[in-house]
Amino acid sequence: MVTANAPSSKAVRTTSGNYGSALIVVTTLFFMWGFLTCLNDILVPHLKPIFDLNYAQVMLIQFAFFSAYFFFSIPAGKVIDWIGYKRTMVVGLATMGIGALLFIPAASAPSFPLFLAALIVLATGITALQVAANPYVAVLGSPRTASSRLNLTQAFNSLGTTIAPYFGSLFILSGAALTLDEVRRLPVAQLQAYRMHEAASVKLPYLGIGLALFALATLIGSVKLPPMATAEQHGAESGVRASIWKYRHLVLGAVAIFVYVGAEVSIGSFLVNYFTQPEIGGLTAKAAAQLVSFYWGGAMVGRFIGSAILRKVPTGIVLGIAAIFACALVVTTMLSVGHVAMVTILLVGFFNSVMFPSIFTLGIAELGPLTGDASGLLNTAIVGGAIIPVLEGALADRIGLHHAFILPALCYLYILFYALKGSKPGVPANS
């Protein structure tokens, strides 16, 4: 079904059709924000004993990071209307660079609230980047292959998330950290010295990351990217500015993004702690962190495969099948121990692979020049990565980490509903 607001090629695309170079350039951004997002999975087990935090408290790392999506996604959509997609990407990269450099004073203090503040700044930049880059890729070519194209670029996002845990295990978790009980027995002076020593391991990695981000901002600013029309430009031409809230498939898609990101981040955040439990793996934190790469690596492989499948199979069907398998695997890990529990939870990453790009492309379907504003709404829903991990942390403190995975399982059930029913476009949300 085509609505009155469906995109015309003139409204949202250039006429040349030569998008290969632009796609390659923008793909580097997907890699970078995937890498930085996944480093949070290493910060969780690293900072937990340093600052004597329980599961709910340490999940403030993810809460601070993903809350930025809630507060800054819609403003980022307005920034796109104001300065365009390319300049928004440059601003996002520069903001990320500032956030990365703020890890240095946070580690020097050392202060958990300062770490959270640095994460908020870093995530604000990533938010601007995502709001600009996701719809840019979606409209950078044929609408028929938008989901496939976004899955391909998201595969390089997953390459970043695959490398990040291994990188973090080498440069952040490389020391022989004390257990939580050992930390609690330290005298005050020794405790402060220990915190400074352990926190300092993040300085060099994040300094390098910050410099790389500024270099990438300079690169993006210097290359020529095809311009895309914004909602403001379309409104000026047509004299009409439609509301995104009347599109049911977009609103329900925002809920699907909320629960998907919440489920994915919850699982990834707890894997190191999960694998160190005696009945699951009994591994060291460093060894467990390296295994987390398989979780995110599965998502990378799945996105490359999904990109090919989505050229032949409807997006809703692929999304529904992925949700069924992800839910089944989470339930299996809850009902098992040892290697079975480890392998099944790692395999969830493979089926997570197609979810974000599929939900995103289904959510913005047939929105035309409202795509930028719709992207802002969908990226706001990434705040699920802030809220659901905290809820799972609180649940883990009460019933244990093993059974707290019931929350992600419920999230995948909603995604199944969205794939089969909620993603159908053309029905007003208020009807």
Predicted pLDDT at 7: 34
Residue 205 has pLDDT above 60, yes or no: yes
Residue 50 has pLDDT above 50, yes or no: yes
Domains and CATH numbers, the chain: 17-422 (1.20.1250.20)
Structure letter (DSSP) for residue 283? -
Specify the higher pLDDT residue, 30 or 224.
Answer: 30
In tens, the pLDDT along 107-122 reads 999 999 999 999 999 9
Residue 209: band (very low, low, confident or very high) from pLDDT cuts 50, 70, 90: very high
Residues 6+ apart with CB under 8 A from 403: 334
Q: Largest alpha-carbon pair distance within the chain? A: 69
Phi, psi for residue 392 in degrees, rounded to 5: -70, -35
Residue 181: band (very low, low, confident or very high) from pLDDT cuts 50, 70, 90: confident
Taking residue 202's Cβ as centre, other Cβ atoms within 10 Å add up to: 26
Predicted pLDDT at 400: 94
Here the tokens at position 417 are 């509903």
Residue 24 has pLDDT above 60, yes or no: yes
Predicted pLDDT at 224: 84
Cβ burial of 268 (10 Å; 0-12, 13-18, 19+) is: buried
Residue 291: band (very low, low, confident or very high) from pLDDT cuts 50, 70, 90: very high
Residue 412: band (very low, low, confident or very high) from pLDDT cuts 50, 70, 90: very high
Here the tokens at position 284 are 């060291």
Residue 20: band (very low, low, confident or very high) from pLDDT cuts 50, 70, 90: confident
Residue 431 has pLDDT above 80, yes or no: no
Predicted pLDDT at 175: 62
Distance CA 327, CA 411 (A): 8
Q: How far apart are the first and last CA of the chain?
A: 17
Predicted pLDDT at 238: 46
3-state secondary structure (DSSP) of residue 265: helix
Q: Tokens 């390089």 label which residue?
A: 156
Q: Are 416 and 323 in contact (CB under 8 A)?
A: yes
Residue 63: band (very low, low, confident or very high) from pLDDT cuts 50, 70, 90: very high
- Identify which of 20-24, 45-49, 394-398 has the greatest average pLDDT: 394-398
The pTM for the full model equals: 0.79
Of 303, 299, 305, 306, which Cα lies nearest the Cα of 271? 299
Per-residue pLDDT, averaged over 406-415, amounts to 98
3-state secondary structure (DSSP) of residue 41: helix
Predicted pLDDT at 16: 41
What percent of the chain stands above pLDDT 90? 55
One DSSP character per residue, 119-146 reads HHHHHHHHHHHHHHHHHHHHTSS-GGGH
Distance CA 311, CA 148 (A): 6
Predicted pLDDT at 14: 41
Cβ burial of 182 (10 Å; 0-12, 13-18, 19+) is: exposed
Residue 178 has pLDDT above 80, yes or no: no
Predicted pLDDT at 425: 75
Residue 23 has pLDDT above 90, yes or no: no
In tens, the pLDDT along 240-264 reads 456 788 889 999 999 999 999 999 9
188-192, 232-236, 324-328: which range is least confident on average?
232-236
Predicted pLDDT at 18: 58
Predicted pLDDT at 177: 65
Residue 149 has pLDDT above 90, yes or no: no
Distance CA 389, CA 374 (A): 25
Taking residue 82's Cβ as centre, other Cβ atoms within 10 Å add up to: 11
